[in-house]
Every structure is written in C-alpha cells, then in structure tokens.
Structure 1
C-alpha cells in the first residue's frame, strides 16, 4: 500500500519492512529540501510503528541518488552564508538520523550513486549493491567538498578510501566499494538477503537496535565537532562566486565545470 508522505518518495509497507523509494528519476533522484522533509516523514512513520524493524531505501531508475539538486541550488540564494549553513545542517541532520534511527536501515543500490547519495548509503547500517553500481564523490569538480558526507563515509571505510574518492572524484565499482567496506554485499537481487535480515530482526527488540547504535557511537573517537566543521565548510564553499557559476552553468546549460571556465 502506498503511504508516501510527499511527492518525492514512494513508501510501501511490507510486513515488518518499510520500503522507501526515492522517486525523482527526471532529476536523477537528486536531493532537495522537499526530499529531505519527505525522508524525515518516512523515518517518523518507521519509528512510530513498533512492528517496523527494517527500513529499506532504494532509488527509481538507473540512479540511486545523485546528491544535491543543482537546479534547486542554482535557483535559491545559497550564496548567503546563513542559507548555505542551514542547508548543510539539514542534510547532516538527515544523515545523522539515518545512522541513529532505532531501526535497521538498508540501502539497496542498483546503479549510480554520487555526492550526497554516497552519504545516504554510508549512513545506512547495511548497503547491498548490484554489480553494475558505482559510487563517486565529484564535488571537487565544482570547487566543493563532500563535507557532510565524509564523517559518515570515514566511519565506514576509514580515512584513506574516503580521502582518495574525494580528491580523485573517480567512481569506484561495487566490487571496490565492497573491499573498502562501503558496500556490505554485492548482489543483483537483494530480496533474499532482505528477507533473511527481516526474519532475524523480528527476534530482536527494537530497543536493542537503539542501544547497539548508541553504544557503538560511544566507542568511536570523539566526533563532537564533525557537524560544526562540515556545515561551516559547506557554507563557505557554497558562497563562492566560482562555485555558484559552475552550479548555475550545469543547472541551466548542462555545462560541466571544466566547460564553464
């Protein structure tokens, strides 16, 4: 049954699983303010239903999620430091909620993942990806950095893989993503794995999931400043006229950054 909280998602309940499909294929499933609000609404539903044990995030079409909606960003006055900081804070807050949600979150990837989409995957508890999937952080091409993504990516992969993806901007295959622990399993059909996981989770109290996430967070190195550093740097970069020009060139004329100099 479709219980979508907004126009950017399709949300379906399948027994103990809430399936959330990012449904903006015409915009490569990119992230805007509406999508973030709708995702929060879907997570509210999952958290408010004690029978929900598993949240599965997918993308419609050949792209799981392409990160920031450049058209939306170009139309808004993101050059304002305050607006840019608030945008970064909202996205960081979404990733933080995915990582701490007292339900198990699985990203099922079948296709391309870029920018903030990598953040959604990295903030998930499990990532299942088809062999044709790829993951990339192209932000540096626009003079940006994946500021809000990196704390969650580093938590999964360690420092060097996240550093290499950021500076090279090159996509990595699903197999490579599995080697660096961004992907948990490479499979073309995730349904059997999801059924096994959901069956096991029905035997675990949701409070244990919440306790486990909280305890593992305490075992990490102190990360109190990650959010402040990420949001501040994102705001600074988004306020750059050069970055603004590159984003506008892509949004309006499909010009890549190196074609817009």
Structure 2
C-alpha cells in the first residue's frame, strides 16, 4: 500500500520504503503545467522534505508527472495573466519560481527525474536541477520561451550548469526541440529507455542509488554543490528581472497572444514560407 506524505491540489508526494519519495505533478489535464498554486505547493513540500534528516525518512527524491507528459512548463493561461501585470508584479511572481528551482537544485539528497512525453520550459528546468534523468525514447525537451518573445530566465543558470554553454546556447537561443537521444549525447539525460520499461528501469536505478551510504550521499551532494556552486543572489535577481521584463514587454505580450490565436508572431513574418 502506497503511503501519502503530502497531498495538495496540484501535486502529491508518495512515501516508499528506504527513504524514497515521489513528488508527482497531478495536473495531467493541462500537461502538468505550472501555475502559481503549483509553484507554491512544490516549494512548500521541498522545504518539508529537506528538513527530514533521519536516514530512513529521506534518501532519494523522484520527480514524475501524471499522464502522458512530465511537465510542459508554465501554464499558458497563467503566463497570459502574468503578461497583463506590471513589471513589479512580475518580479514578485518570478521570485517565487526562482525559489522553487533553487530549493530543488540544492536539495540535500539525490534527485531523479523520470520524463515521459516532454519536458518543456520550466519542465526542462526541473530536469536541469536534477542529479539523474531517465527518459522514455520518444520524450522531447525544449526551452521554448524565446518563441513566445520571453526568456528562460530563472532556469538558465541551472541549464548552463548542467550541460555548459556549448550545448545550452543553441537550445536556449532557438527554442528548438531535442530528442531524448540528443539530450543523452549532451549529458542532459542519463539514460533512455522504452516507455513500457520506464518504471522497471527506474527500480533498477533506485536500487543502485540506495547502495550508497545515506550520509555519504548527502555529503557527496554537498561536495558537488561546493565544487560547482549554484547561482548566487545577485545572479538570481538578474534572472528574475529578465523574465519579469520580458513577460511584461510588448514583444512578450504579442508572442503569448499569437500563441493563443494560433498565429505566428510579427517577428516571424517573411521568415517562414507560407
């Protein structure tokens, strides 16, 4: 019988043996896309899980999405609402998102993302903050923000930290989609398997991680964070400002409006043959 550690409106956390917990995004009807409530729930539960110091309570965190999609990033209805707000309101919202990603990236135990379908935008950011990523062979990955006239603001430091500028720049600047196999080549994904084999392969990976001493795993995570630090407050503030300005800009508003109207934004005119 699966025990529930946390049950919210947008997510839940299931409790398994040996200190393994699954954080499951449960907005499958809209591809597990973020809204403000979901962001707050994830931040709250990450704080709770981080405070569990008993080795039998918290050893390994798994991220999964219900349904066919891992996470499609920000809910576009939520993004449309944000685009109507002023820059100060957008900054406040972006700080909430930034805190969520920082809490995940600095999580004291190993974090594994299990990606089916797609990890787009903020979903891509979740993968970037993870220590290991298992993906099904048809999964797609992208930071598609620039296609909407906005930017992959708060997730950018984690993407670059994960795969370096050489791999990150082409993805972030073009918004193009990458296959699981392409992401395997860059190191963004660690293993690719068939969709039907996803859960059985996850069990094998969990078993391997649980072979490590619980305290040794935590200390090794600290070593990694010390050797390759997370963004400092100045960097976080910069990324927050960038996403806030882009969302409240004319270009950002035009891009999101074009998406809802199923049209190409104005900057694409003459670029794509009709």
Match of 1:147 in 2: 153
The 8 Å contact of residues 249 and 260 in structure 1, kept in 2 or not, is answered as no
Aligned-partner Cα distance in 1 for 2:101–2:28: 21
Aligned-partner Cα distance in 2 for 1:21–1:175: 24
How far apart are 1:213 and its partner, in Å? 2.7
- 1:219 partnered with 2:219: no
Aligned-partner Cα distance in 2 for 1:4–1:211: 26
- 1:240 partnered with 2:240: no
Match of 1:134 in 2: 140
After superposition, residues 99-118 of structure 1 pair within 5 angstroms as 99-118=105-124
Match of 2:179 in 1: 173
Match of 1:6 in 2: 8
TM (normalized to structure 1)? Answer: 0.89
Q: Deviations over 1:185-232 (max 9, x none)?
A: 112334344434444544545443343233222223784332122111
Task: Provide structure 1 residue ranges, at least 5 long, that are not aligned to the other structure.
Answer: none
RMSD: 2.5
TM (normalized to structure 2)? Answer: 0.85
More displaced 10-residue stretch of structure 1: 144-153 or 122-131: 144-153
More displaced 10-residue stretch of structure 1: 40-49 or 101-110: 40-49
Q: 240, 243, 261: which is aligned to 1:231? A: 240
After superposition, residues 32-181 of structure 1 pair within 5 angstroms as 32-49=35-52, 50=54, 51-76=57-82, 79-181=85-187
The 8 Å contact of residues 40 and 96 in structure 2, kept in 1 or not, is answered as no
Aligned-partner Cα distance in 2 for 1:151–1:63: 24
Aligned-partner Cα distance in 1 for 2:21–2:246: 36
Match of 1:22 in 2: 25
Q: Deviations over 1:25-78 (max 9, x none)?
A: 222211111111211233234334422211111112222111111201223465
Structure 1 ranges of 4+ moved more than 6 A: none
Aligned-partner Cα distance in 1 for 2:12–2:268: 36
The 8 Å contact of residues 9 and 23 in structure 1, kept in 2 or not, is answered as yes
Q: Deviations over 1:65-120 (max 9, x none)?
A: 11111201223465311221122222121111111111211110011111111000
In structure 2, do the counterparts of structure 1 residues 64 and 166 end up closer, same or farther at CA, with 3 Å as the change threshold? same
Task: Provide structure 2 residue ranges, at least 5 long, that are not aligned to the other structure.
Answer: 270-274
